[in-house]
Structure 1
Amino acid sequence: MPDGLRLALTTFTVLPVRAGRVDRSSAATAMGLAPLVGAGLGAAAGGTAALLHAAGAPGLVGGAAGIGLVALLTRGLHLDGLADTVDGLGSYRSGPAALEIMKRPDIGPFGVVALVVVLLLQAGSLGGLASTNAVLAGVAALATGRLAVTWACRRGVPPARPDGLGALVAGTVRAPALILGTLLVGAVAVPAVPGRPWQGPLAVAAGLLASALLVRHAVRRLGGITGDVLGAAVEIATTVALVVLVSAPKA
């Protein structure tokens, strides 16, 4: 557990945690604990948006600040994975050819558009929640994003490459961890929208469905998952969850 927790923190944040043992056993624990790390990031993002709203800042400003803080705390790693994955899948190439595009240091037009759209949706949605319950909504949405990684690393999902993060974590998560993580995130999401207890779990389900479709497409086109695909799953699930949360009428 300690090695897995350290690996989760070093994988999903910039926290200066000393690395422990890194193997598939610790990777399984780390991927199972990913939603917990996401919850902490979500509290930071939602708290920032709520504080700026209380200080009189426009909602979009607070939302952008919260999402920007998450990007800083995660080194923008998942956003980079989103851009690379969209570039690779958008090339209409498959297998090694698409993976080679994803390894390039530059970002293509598909990746740029994906980043702009996702960041605008996240900032606008979180800003729209700042006047209600931004902290719990942030926790629910960002925990959903990391829960998407837990699901992407379940048994039966192969890696696209024989090395890298995807090879380390692919197929490591067992069913009990998936079920427990999903139930906990769903429970946390219940109070995220005041007066509409079903809206939070619906947001979690929608985010997981969107990320599952992305992962399924990536497995079909690339042959499996990579670290970039996991990053894309994080951002897609988070974005969809935030959009569903903010779509509820204000209480």
Structure 2
Amino acid sequence: MEEVLSGGNMTSVVKVRDTVRRASGPWTPAVHALLGHLRRRGFDRAPEALGVDERGRENISLLPGSVATYPLPEHVLSDRTLVAVAELLREYHDATADFVPPTGAHWQWPSHEPVEVLCHNDFAPYNLMFEGDRLTGVIDFDTASPGPRVWDLAYTAYRFVPLTDPANPDVPYPGIAEQRRRLELFVRSYGFAITPADVVEVAIRRLRELVDFIVTQARNGDEAQQKVLDRGDTLIYERDIAYLEANTWS
């Protein structure tokens, strides 16, 4: 018996007993090698890779809890959750620092320099598991690729601080002073030689790359990205970029 799970905006995701199945791709062997490495390093808040099933779908273990979806519950934007997210991201990054990708590893998303860790690239509410108001795990490693720590911090801060324009329809606007305070708390909780200004600078680059990706993929016939383009997501990102550029964050 298969049960369609919520989320899975890009691909269909189904539950089969205590496992999750979704379409595999050329990146799946590298992602599964990463998941295996995480387990060996004692990081158990990510799924366990179980290979592929008889239909060629990726097969991974089912984590307890559920992801946060928009509009976000109040607890997802609390200081407590912000600190927990920063600490989990640091724990994940540290566990990947000595990961050696398999020969010929293929990643779905591009790598970025300097390579320090295996970036998740989408460490956002819709990929984090919660049991009640407690953060318990992270899923969806399909877009993982080598890169600097700050590349992940930038997008995660964008989603959780949040680093958004007052008109962003997804989250309430907390005000610039509160954004600066929460950004500093997030960076401090991660605990590395990265500044709030570093995070915002990279967030601007990250959002620009995301806009380019959506537009390019839609032009190339990607139906999922065409839907994203049609609903106006790139306009939201571009407005948020302008807001980040117009303010100071140091």
Instruction: Give the TM-score category using the shorter length.
Output: 0.3 to 0.5
TM-score by length of 2: 0.36
The structure richer in helix per residue is: 1
The structure richer in strand per residue is: 2
TM-score by length of 1: 0.36
Q: Which has the higher contact order (CA 8 A, sep 6+)?
A: 1
